[in-house]
Structure formats: structure tokens, C-alpha cells
A and B are shown apart, each in its own frame.
Chain A
């Protein structure tokens, strides 16, 4: 088991290296001269050259890369072109809202979707099943921003149960923070939940028709045990996979959600940085998102080994 985990872990290094090269090259190839951009409309050629030297943009590309990679390895993602603040600090400041939003979404979605999917499969073709699947089709079709505005209108403006917009940091109190996350998490999580519920149902349905489920029933085990241990553990691999893939999808949803709910997180930082062509920030963010993705994949891979003893590669 630990050998397997170690191998998976080592396998992430080449991936990260490729991501780093990709991010670097991509932004160098992007159109527009950042030095000219920073200098502004009425800058002289000398001003621009100055800025270029300061940013190291005049060095050969490989040299720029070496400097950049060296910095990353020391946790230095460079300095924002516009605010002159370290990218690491800018990202760290915006991390909490996004992390909390993603975590809340993940928890809400998984803890509702998996039981609903199991229920739908167990009661296949019944009314419950139809309702769950109907919801799942709808949930998947509703765009995040629409869900967001509808939720705000009903629960914040009409019912006044929850704040309209904004994010309360954990430092202001756990419950206040959670309250500010409820609506964004539901808006962001609806499609995700629909996806997980659907896969859970499909995976469970297939498992429930297997011979070993009949064996479990032939032992007179309680329904909960048959469903949640014998069936769900077998159905888990595709479910965990889709949860992992869903996190990647969440990252793009986060940008929209943060805009709709006015949450000062990484999503907003990304939008701002892209619009201003603040290369160092964009690079840093892509790197963080890619690392998150690689980390999630690693977790998913490791969980396979716990869920299915036959998996050892």
C-alpha cells in the first residue's frame, strides 16, 4: 500500500514540471508587451526599456525560465506588475474565501448527492427515483449565475434569511462565515450534485444486480448494510472519480460564483489579473490551480487502493 502511494506521489512530479513549462511558455507567447502595458499610454521608449529590464523581460527566454523556476521552488511566484506586491501574498490573501467556498460546496454536494443517488438506485423506477433524477437533470441544466441570482432573490432579498452578497472571513466567527457561504455553495454545487447523484445511481444500479449482492441478501443482512457496505463500496470507484473530476469543474465555476456573490477570492483575482494582463499573478494562479488538480488526482488514486483491493498498479 505505501509503495503504491509513494509511486503515485512520484508520478506527480513530471506532471508538475510539464505544467510549469507549459504555463511559462504559454504566457510568453501571448500577444501584447507587458512592459508597454505597464508603462502606460504616454511612456517613452526608454521608460519601456527600463521596465523591461526591471522585470527581466530582456533576458534570453531560457534564462527567464531558470529564474522563474528557481523562484517557484523557493515559494516565490514573482511580483505583481501593477501592485508590486508578491504574488504569493496576493494569492494567500484571497485563498480563504475560495477554499471555504470550495470546501462547503464539496461537503454539501457529496453529502447530499451520494445518499440521494443510493436511494434512487435502491428504489429504482419509483417516485423517489423519478424525483431525484428529475432534479438531477434540472440541476445540470441550470447555469451557475442563474442559480445564484435566483437564490439571492428568494433567500436573501425576499425571505431575508441569508446575506445577499459578500464573504465573512472565519475570523468574524464560524457561523457568520458559513452563512455567507450557504447560497454560493448551493449555486455552485447544484450542477456538481446533479452529476454525482447521477453517477452514484448508475454505479449503484449496476452493482445491485451483481451476484454478491444476492449473496449478501441471502445472509439476511440489514438493508443498510447491504446498500452502504456491500454495494456502495463496490460502486465507489466511479463515484470518487467523478467527485475528483467535478472539483476541476468547480474551479471554473468558482470564478463565476465569486463574481455573482461578490466574494473576494481567487476567482476574482484571476479575472482581474487576466484583464490587466498581470502575467506573474496569472502564472501563479494557473500553477496553484494545476497543483490543486494534481493533488486531487493523487487523493483519488490513493482512495482507489483503499476502496478496491484488486487495484495495484
Chain B
């Protein structure tokens, strides 16, 4: 959380009014419905929100990894180093994936190919993008494994995923994602599926590597604890929209959106271990999440909001600047701020 970020440098990633829809039998699912944000070199940007709010879809949209027959980006712009990605052809996108922008996923147990060695899975990325020889690529794989602190990398490189624990697999994923020195690492809940103690180790590792390599990170999580530890800037998503954005201290000091407050109240206590040591998902705000297929005319949070007024049900609150570098989409920000945090 400090000065690595160059606040003056132009953003390397600018997402504007991103809309990603799925076309299902039951209608169009507006999974991401007008999300904008930007990322500066070396910055860590957090994306938080409940399950199903569109975090993963936002990430997958950037890399265009959503299967075309299911859904696609229907609007908005994604600019990487000034270059518009939505207009690139598939070949050009493949040149970026794993090379300039890479991604690690929520499910370490299933994200590695079970029938290929981890060495091959790292080396192929390097070979593909950096044009190294097979030998050099494997050397790089060993180097990456030791960078992510996997003991005995020369032996491990020949192992298969099933021979590794969940935490080790996530380390392998990190090694793979960082193997070509990307500008941006998108980490989609990299620790959610892991044991609490392992979670901390993986986060520490990511922070350390980030300092070392200067990679900008988009940290997707539903865990505000993770956000506090790792991010400089945070966006809060609800039902496919960005409802609040602020620098991390500002957000924790003055959360403006009732939903953000709900998330903070729902943060499990540190000793709040559940079965299997996995932290609970954020679903503790009572009320019904609106349908993404047939959106309401008003504020999507209205059915669950303690601050709602008549206006909220009829009109969509616009996202507006409400403080220094602090945006929120709520009509009742002033009332929310009056009520002190518990």
C-alpha cells in the first residue's frame, strides 16, 4: 500500500462502460452492466462484491475468455496501454494473454491440467511468448518455481498437479502467470479456496512478487480483509455495476454506499473459521438480489437497503463524485455518512 504506484503515470488499463451479457434460454443476463475503472502501472486495484455480482465476468471480459456461445462483451471499451482490446482479432488477443496480461483463477484444484507436468505448463507459456528454446523455457520454469518458494524445484518441475497441495498449486499458477513478466496480473479470488493459514502465505507471496516485479494487480475478492491488506484503490460491485470507488483508506474511513457498509458489517471476525477452514462467502446482507435478466427501473440495492426512499425504487442513482477521489452511486450518501460505523 505505498509509493510503488506512480500516480502521474498514465493508466495501463482503462475499462469504460464495460457491458458483458450472457444469452441464455431464460433471456439476456446482464452480468456486467456498465463498469468503468482504470489501473496504473504497479497499482493494486481491488474489486469486491458478493458472489454473482460480476467480478469474474469483468476479469474474463478483459482477456476475452468467455466462451463465445455463452456470452460476450456487448459494449464499452477496454484500453491496454492505449490500445483498444475490443477491436483486436483473436490472434492478437492470444499474443497478449499470458504475456502482457495474465490471470490466476479461483479454483487452484482444477485450474491446472491434470495430465501435464507443471513444468510443461509453465514452460509452454514462456516458449509461446518469449520464443525461448525448450531448454531455456524449462530453466525458466524451474526459476519461477523457486521464485514462488516451492522447495526442490528441479524435482517438482516434473510432477503432476495431483502430487501437489492446493496451496502449492496456487503457487504454480502464480509462477505460470508471472513467467512472462506481465504488466497486469488479474487475480480472481486467488485465496478463497485455500485454508486460512495458506491464504495468508499466498497473499504475502503475491505482495512480495509485486514489489519485486512491479506488476499491476487486479485483486478480485469478496474479502474486505484481503482488500485492506493488498489494495490501493477499491471498486465495489453490485449486480453487474460499480456502486462505489475510492482509495482504500478513504473507503474504509467513509464508506458511502449502504451496500459497502453491509459488506463491512458482514466481514467475518478473524477467528471466524468455518468448517474446513474456509471463510464464509459474503451473503449476510438480508434481502433479495435483483434479477440480472429483468432489471428494476430503480436502484438495484433498493429491496435490501435500510436507507431507501421512494425515489430509489423509481430512479437509478447515477455514479457521482462525492468526496476526494470518492465516487458512489446512491441518492442518500449524506444520510449514510451521518450514521457512524459500528
Contacts and interface: CB of A to CB of B under 8 A. Distances in A.
Q: Do A and B come from one complex?
A: yes
Interface of A: 124-125, 210-212, 214-222, 225, 229-230, 233-234, 307-310
B95 interface: yes
Contacts of B112: 212, 215
Contact of B116 (A210, A214, A229, A310): A229
Contacts of A233: 115-116
Residue among B102, B105, B115 with max Cβ neighbours from chain A (10 Å): B115
A212 B110 contact: yes
B115 A308 contact: yes
Given A124-B69, A310-B160, A221 B124 contact: yes
B124 A219 contact: yes
5 contacts: A217-B65, A218-B98, A219-B176, A221-B124, A308-B115
Contacts of A210: 110
Given A125-B69, A233-B116, A309-B115, A218 B110 contact: no
B97 A219 contact: yes
Contact of A211 (B95, B102, B107): B107
B306 to A, nearest CB: 38
A219 B63 CA distance: 10
Contact of B114 (A125, A219, A220, A310): A310
B99 interface: yes
B266 interface: no
Interface string B79-121: 0000000000000011111110011010100111111100001
Contacts of A217: 65, 97
Contact of B162 (A215, A222, A309): A309
Given A215-B112, A221-B98, A230-B116, 7 more contacts: A210-B110, A211-B110, A215-B113, A216-B113, A220-B98, A222-B94, A234-B114
Nearest to B93: A220
B99 A220 contact: yes
Contacts of B114: 212, 234, 308-310
Interface in B275-307: none
Nearest to A217: B65
B97 A218 contact: yes
B125 interface: yes
B110 A220 contact: no
Nearest to A214: B65
Contacts of A211: 105, 107, 110-111
A222 B94 CA distance: 8
Nearest to A307: B115
Given A211-B105, A218-B65, A230 B129 contact: no
B105 to A, nearest CB: 6
A44 to B, nearest CB: 70
A154 B115 CA distance: 45
Contact of B97 (A125, A220, A234, A308): A220
Contacts of B125: 219, 221
B128 A219 contact: yes
Contacts of A214: 65, 105, 111
Contacts of A215: 105, 111-113, 121, 173, 176
B128 A221 contact: yes
Contact of B103 (A125, A218, A234, A309): A218
A221 B93 CA distance: 10
Nearest to A308: B115
Contacts of B93: 220
A211 B107 CA distance: 8
Contacts of B113: 212, 215-216, 230, 234
A10 B85 CA distance: 59
B128 A220 contact: yes
Contacts of A124: 69
Nearest to A232: B115
B111 A219 contact: no
Contacts of B162: 309-310
B65 A234 contact: no
Contacts of A234: 113-115
A309 B110 CA distance: 15
B131 to A, nearest CB: 13
B192 to A, nearest CB: 14
A218 B160 CA distance: 20
Residue among A210, A308, A309 with max Cβ neighbours from chain B (10 Å): A309
A40 to B, nearest CB: 63
Interface in B230-249: none
Which 3 A-B pairs give the minimum distances between C-beta atoms?
A: A219-B98, A220-B97, A220-B94
A208 B342 CA distance: 47
B179 to A, nearest CB: 9
A70 B9 CA distance: 88
Nearest to B90: A223
Contacts of A230: 113, 116
Residue among A215, A217, A222, A234 with max Cβ neighbours from chain B (10 Å): A215
A212 B63 CA distance: 16
A52 B313 CA distance: 100
Nearest to A209: B67
A18 B103 CA distance: 55
Nearest to A235: B115
Interface string B170-191: 0001001000000000000000
Contacts of A212: 110-114
A240 B129 CA distance: 33
A215 B63 CA distance: 11
